[in-house]
Structure 1
Amino acid sequence: MHLREQRKNNIGNEGASVFAYLKKQQELDPNFYFDIELDSNLVLRSFFWADSRSRNDFLIFGDVVVFDVTYKTNKFMMPFAPFTSVNHHRQSILFGCALLADETEETFFWLFNQWLKCMFDKAPKVIITDMDGAMYNAIKRVFPHTRHRFCSWHIGKHLIEHVFEIRDIHGDFKKDYYEWYNSKDASTSELRWKLFTQKYNITNISWLSKMWDRRQHWVPAYLKDHFVAGMTSSGRSESINAFFDGFVNSKTQLLEFITQYEKALQSRHQAEEQEDFNTLNSVANLLTSYALERCAAQFYTKNMFKLFQQEFKQSLECWYEEVNIIGTDTTFRVGLSCEDVSNWCNVIYDDCNTTIICECAKFETDGFLCKHILHIMIAKKHLQSIPDLYLLRRWSISARSLVNNVKLGDNSDIVTPMMKWKLTNIQTNIFNHATASKEGYEFVMSSLNGLLKNIKDSVQYSEPTSIASQVGSTPIFQESYGISIRDPTIVKTKGRPKIASRIESGIETSQAQVKKRTCGTCGGKGHYSTTCPQKDQVILSTFSSFILLFFITIFIISIIFSFILFKQVDIVKKDQI
């Protein structure tokens, strides 16, 4: 049995081809990172890779990361695990991805460690995932200081599954639940939860009670202190899977998957470049003559300005009332004129430091000002520009220049991969400017020669090691080059619910319909004529139709015959006359 399994795994050369391709990519791009995991029999288990562009993107946009796994994107059914986020245009971007052997805690632990090593040991501030237990435990081990947020879509899905009986019995359940869920602060949430559990007899062993114990991961009142770039679900990750429609499917071989992934990635880059072009070569349509709106139009990318403008437009429809003044802090209550006053938000303005805070926490979570703050800035304080504190450069057209301002986080004398990475980025910028003209080339060459002489004269020099040797694939695989790596086994999704919680891609759904058996009797999918449940009815219906058609045919023939006979008789009568 064991020998048969080994022979089965030796069929094809996909494992070796994958390694050879990734190795080749690293030779072409020294900052390309990959690692693969083999078992004791050299059977490929998992592999992870990220190109230099993805690593560079993480340094700029890696404050919040979405992680999820999707299925059926390759012939071995290996879960596809992309790390995603959004760029300065709110477009989905990728920070590398993996194909995994399974979804156990140890596999996620291996993957997260590889990804952390790839990203210069710089952990994200926030990570958004579903509620998978293995994933949850691995994140606590690898990213202990990262804020872990549960996907709101999965929360809603599980809520429907677990509380439908209570909801059907009690008509007010839905209203009371969302009144608690949308509490503005933690103290209000805890008070409402106590009343909610008493009213509906929520026991300690219920699903809702267990989720209450993890409220810091999903209840909005406990999540207002961290930036999520407007994302609350793993939809970005699942939309990446949908984006691969037309590129990969359930029959795609591993090497083909990687090459098609590269094409899809390139398509993402082109989409970003197009939005950069649109921002730089268009003028925003202003709704008003307010200086605040003009300031935002000059700062944000085109897509982000549209989101800001929606808030700005609503701010003009807001009212406010002054609540109290304590020292330099003035508290206002602000809301739409059509809203109930109890739903208005408190806004605190500090005249001394020109700081302003709103309890809706839109700036803290989404990165741009809410309608409540904008209304006070316009109606009460008459500000002519948005303070720099509230202009997040992440959403500006110059966001990519932030990579050179990334904090190193290392005070030692050792030159880290991050330091080398920053030098590489400056080098690339110099090259781009130098090759724009001959004058630029000559100036840069003269400057660099002088700089190189100064460095050699003032700094003790030794032959540097390459970035790739420090952050590339591990030595075991460099030594294994040429060894026939066995192909992975087909993944069994052990522990997953019968009804998958993942979103199937459109191409998977359409192909599944095509592959289903087609019945020749009823035309339905999933069975043959011999097992057709409607066989008797269809046969009876067909027989009845045949009999009816037979009598109709006889009737039509009789009419035609009578018509011909009538014509003959008429002709004979005319001849006699």
Structure 2
Amino acid sequence: MGLNIDLNFDNCEEDITPNVDENMMGGEEHVDKGDCGIKDSANDLGMGLTSKDDQNLEPYNGMEFDSHEEAYSFYLKYAKFLGFAVSRKASRRSKISDKLIDAKFSCTRYGTKRESNAINPRPCLKIDCQATLHVKRRQDCGKWFVQNFIKEHNHELFPNEAHYFPCHRKITSIDKHNIDTLHAVRVGTSKIFAAMAKQRGGYQNVGFLQKDIRNHLDKERRLALESGDAKAMLEHFMLMQEENPNFFYAIDLDEEQRLKNVFWVDAKGRENYKNFGDVVSFDTTYITNKYKMPFAPFIGVNNHFQSTLLGCALLADETTSTFVWLMQTWTRAMGGRAPTAILTDQDKAMKAAITMVFPNARHRFCLWHILSKIPEKLGNVLKKHENFMGVLNKCIYNSWTEEDFEKRWWNMVEIFELEGNEWVESLFEDRKQWVPTYMRDTFFAGMSTTQRSESINSFFDKYVNRKTTLKEFVEQYKVALLDRQEEEAHADFNTWHKKPAVKSPSPFEKQMSIVYTHEVFKKFQIEVLGACGCYPQKEKEDGMIITLKVQDFEKKEEFKVVWDATKEEVCCLCRCFEYNGFLCRHAMAVLQSLGFFHIPSHYILKRWTKDAKPRHTIRHISIGVQSTEQRFNDLLGMATKLIEEGSLSHESFNIANHALEEALKQCTIANHSLKGLKKPTCGPCDFHDVGKENVDSNMLCDITVLDPKVSKTKGAPKRMKRGIEQGNKKKYNNKPRNVSLEL
């Protein structure tokens, strides 16, 4: 008997191994091809589930449906609630009537992994999960019933991240209408996505991803902005703190009650700082608003090697006093904990402030900013000597010890006649704050430049322009922040749901493939593969300490590695672990030669692992009492579903219309009964540090805050080209004290 197997992969993340149940094969029927496509109604399900829904959500043998599509929709809803993806495994048609009589749906992790000879094989999800729903059509009445239901899965489920699975994503007709309407007035895809997430109470409730919007529109547009002022910005801050008490902001006013500096950080940023606040990049070269106030973000690196915002500010100037105010305020917002390392531009005012506020932090200058000044400072040398940059780069990047660097530096100064050059002399004086050799003993998460701050600045280009007002800026910042959080949540999902492809038989690679996040593992994987080109040789042995020379054939260099058997410590000249947080190829080559086949636990930094932060945490910290905005969003979501159903027929319209009229009447009565009750009053203008009870959100209601003066920046209106602050023009201790408000 010939069978045509129908397998539809539209909703699968990868190919499925054909596997038709023998119970589906028989007699006069044949398996059909191509008739299991998803109908438009299949995903039109409720985005949330009530407790009553939950009780009746699980399929059972004998359960009946009007059609196989209804059965698929039910199983899809069940899968979304539990947190797994579904694919259509197979179906059959009757040879006599040509009608579908049999269908089987399964978890997408059904089947076994295929062998692949590809150089870079794709990650495979197949782990032989048997969870399936098998439905058949009754001959007498045409109803469909559950022939067999296998509930158990052999893998972890993801109920909080189910919206990332392709089968649970669909843009409805109303969504398409809203997207097209917003796009017609030049709203970008990120703003559209964020607006829908806000409307429905979170990205997980939208029903699709931002890339699905891009696919629908196939183009992007910039945002249309409105106006605002300093007072409106503060009111916006108060509203944000009302929604979430962990939101923190502070303002700095001058003697005229005019806004000078403002700082804010949301609850997510404060939470991230607990896990990823060891290394921070700080940059003020971005100017975006009409007052030309530098935007100064504090940037960290999360466990996916993504940039994460740990707070930001708009500043009136770039003096030491301003930086001191900002860094002290930021430290209070973060519970008094200072970073262990901080990366900034080379600026004397900033350096002085960091010395005062973070005396124990390792301060590093951005290497790119220093090297970018060479054409200006040493232009004549570049014209005269074509090999100058080659010699300088070798001095900077190939000096593995301080002695090597200093020897090469002075040889370079002599060869190119740079004696007496003030800029060159200043670089040597500050060498411990920019030369990699002096930094390799400190963890910098692999950063040597403020490129992450620059990337955040570029990211904000999509949301603001030079005419953007203060209120607009903080509002767009909130939207941008939600986008970043969604990227982080998606990376979390991919890390836990998918396993990276292993490219070698190395036990180290296999071990860390299930420990590190995907992005960190990719960087570690480069070192694992590089270890194949390393040859260790014992140089000397002193008791329990062994010194080895490792020939790196790829880099064409020799590295010294020291092994201390008593402490099980390995130290390489390149200092990869100390600087990047994972072992280098040279250390792994030595470990393997000594009979070690697992990375010691003290060389696995938690901040790079999947467990760097708690699993399945709620994205937005819940509040004891729902805000007006939350209530509005919840009702709007339910009303949208009512509109969709109520508009389909005259009967459903009458039902919906009657229900709305009755509900409106009852709400009006309830609200009238609340009138005359206690109203909020302005609280005293008290100031509280972080960790104490929050101040009344209306504490600034009696303060008239004036717009800031236009800042006199040191460079172009967008990217600021900062010079070095003049010696003693503005002494911090002699500066008049300004008003500072914190919440």
Identical pairs, percent: 36
Q: Which residue of 2 aligns with 1:277?
A: 493
* Contact 1:73 1:248 survives alignment (8 Å): yes
Larger helix proportion, structure 1 or 2? 1
d(CA) in 2 for partners of 1:357, 1:48? 41
DSSP-derived class of the 1:399 partner:
coil
Residue 18 of structure 1: how far off its partner (Å): 1.3
DSSP-derived class of the 1:227 partner:
coil
Q: Which residue of 2 aligns with 1:459?
A: none
Q: Which residue of 1 aligns with 2:308?
A: 93
Q: Which residue of 2 aligns with 1:315?
A: 531
DSSP-derived class of the 1:299 partner:
coil
* Contact 2:276 2:300 survives alignment (8 Å): yes
Q: Which residue of 2 aligns with 1:226?
A: 442
d(CA) in 2 for partners of 1:476, 1:280? 41
Residue type of the alignment partner of 1:487: D
The 3 A distance-change label for structure 1 pair 489 and 475 is farther
* Contact 2:287 2:720 survives alignment (8 Å): no
Residue 487 of structure 1: how far off its partner (Å): 0.9
The 3 A distance-change label for structure 1 pair 388 and 502 is farther
* Contact 2:432 2:438 survives alignment (8 Å): yes
Aligned with residue 354 of structure 1, among 568, 576, 582? 568
Residue 112 of structure 1: how far off its partner (Å): 0.9
Which whole-Å deviations, capped at 9, do the CAs of 1:147-166 have from their partners, x for residues lacking one? Answer: 11000110110123222312
Q: Which residue of 2 aligns with 1:106?
A: 321
Residue 170 of structure 1: how far off its partner (Å): 2.8
The residue correspondences of 1:223-262 to structure 2 (distance < 5 A) are 223-262=439-478
Q: Which residue of 2 aligns with 1:200?
A: 416
Is 1:43 the counterpart of 2:253 in the alignment? no
Q: CA RMSD in A?
A: 2.6
d(CA) in 1 for partners of 2:332, 2:717? 35
Q: Which residue of 2 aligns with 1:390?
A: 603
Structure 1 stretches lacking a partner, 5+ long: 1-11, 405-423, 428-467, 504-577
d(CA) in 2 for partners of 1:276, 1:60? 15
Residue type of the alignment partner of 2:609: S
The residue correspondences of 1:466-477 to structure 2 (distance < 5 A) are 469-471=688-690
Residue 19 of structure 1: how far off its partner (Å): 1.4
Residue 289 of structure 1: how far off its partner (Å): 2.5
d(CA) in 1 for partners of 2:322, 2:694? 17
d(CA) in 2 for partners of 1:221, 1:469? 43
Q: Which residue of 2 aligns with 1:369?
A: 583
Is 1:117 the counterpart of 2:117 in the alignment? no
Q: Which residue of 2 aligns with 1:483?
A: 703
Residue 498 of structure 1: how far off its partner (Å): 9.9
Q: Which residue of 1 aligns with 2:369?
A: 154
Residue type of the alignment partner of 1:84: I
Residue type of the alignment partner of 2:351: Y
Q: Which residue of 2 aligns with 1:436?
A: none
Residue 13 of structure 1: how far off its partner (Å): 6.5
Aligned with residue 302 of structure 1, among 503, 518, 528? 518
Residue 281 of structure 1: how far off its partner (Å): 0.9
The normalised TM-score by structure 2 is: 0.55
Q: Which residue of 1 aligns with 2:231?
A: 16
Residue type of the alignment partner of 2:529: K
Residue type of the alignment partner of 2:701: Y
Q: Which residue of 2 aligns with 1:517?
A: none
* Contact 1:71 1:79 survives alignment (8 Å): yes
Q: Which residue of 2 aligns with 1:344?
A: 558
Q: Work out which of the two has the higher radius of gyration on C-alpha atoms and give 1 or 2.
A: 1
DSSP-derived class of the 1:202 partner:
coil
Q: With a CA cutoff of 8 Å and minimum separation of 6, indicate the structure with the bigger relative contact order.
A: 1
Q: Which residue of 1 aligns with 2:392?
A: 177
Residue type of the alignment partner of 1:148: H
d(CA) in 2 for partners of 1:13, 1:279? 41
* Contact 2:228 2:470 survives alignment (8 Å): no
Residue type of the alignment partner of 1:250: R
d(CA) in 2 for partners of 1:217, 1:157? 16
Residue type of the alignment partner of 1:383: F
* Contact 1:42 1:485 survives alignment (8 Å): yes
Aligned with residue 58 of structure 1, among 261, 269, 273? 273
The 3 A distance-change label for structure 1 pair 366 and 339 is closer
d(CA) in 2 for partners of 1:290, 1:180? 34
DSSP-derived class of the 2:260 partner:
strand
* Contact 2:561 2:572 survives alignment (8 Å): yes
* Contact 2:280 2:299 survives alignment (8 Å): yes
d(CA) in 2 for partners of 1:392, 1:338? 27
Residue 278 of structure 1: how far off its partner (Å): 0.5
* Contact 1:330 1:349 survives alignment (8 Å): yes
The 3 A distance-change label for structure 1 pair 473 and 146 is farther
Which whole-Å deviations, capped at 9, do the CAs of 1:191-243 have from their partners, x for residues lacking one? Answer: 22233323333224431111100101001111111001111111101110111
Which whole-Å deviations, capped at 9, do the CAs of 1:373-400 have from their partners, x for residues lacking one? Answer: 111122x123121100111110011101
d(CA) in 1 for partners of 2:518, 2:332? 34
Residue type of the alignment partner of 2:572: C
Residue type of the alignment partner of 2:482: Q
* Contact 1:31 1:51 survives alignment (8 Å): yes
Which whole-Å deviations, capped at 9, do the CAs of 1:313-347 have from their partners, x for residues lacking one? Answer: 1111212222111221111111322554xx21111
* Contact 1:66 1:127 survives alignment (8 Å): yes
d(CA) in 1 for partners of 2:538, 2:384? 43
* Contact 1:292 1:383 survives alignment (8 Å): no
d(CA) in 2 for partners of 1:72, 1:356? 46
Which whole-Å deviations, capped at 9, do the CAs of 1:271-292 have from their partners, x for residues lacking one? Answer: 0110111011112211223321
d(CA) in 2 for partners of 1:174, 1:101? 37
* Contact 1:15 1:486 survives alignment (8 Å): yes
The 3 A distance-change label for structure 1 pair 13 and 221 is closer
Which whole-Å deviations, capped at 9, do the CAs of 1:364-422 have from their partners, x for residues lacking one? Answer: 000011111111122x12312110011111001110149x9xxxxxxxxxxxxxxxxxx
Q: Report the number of matched residues.
A: 427
The 3 A distance-change label for structure 1 pair 73 and 67 is same
Residue 143 of structure 1: how far off its partner (Å): 1.0
d(CA) in 2 for partners of 1:476, 1:145? 35
Is 1:26 the counterpart of 2:241 in the alignment? yes
d(CA) in 2 for partners of 1:288, 1:68? 40
Q: Which residue of 2 aligns with 1:554?
A: none
* Contact 1:153 1:233 survives alignment (8 Å): yes
d(CA) in 1 for partners of 2:425, 2:234? 47
Residue type of the alignment partner of 1:288: S
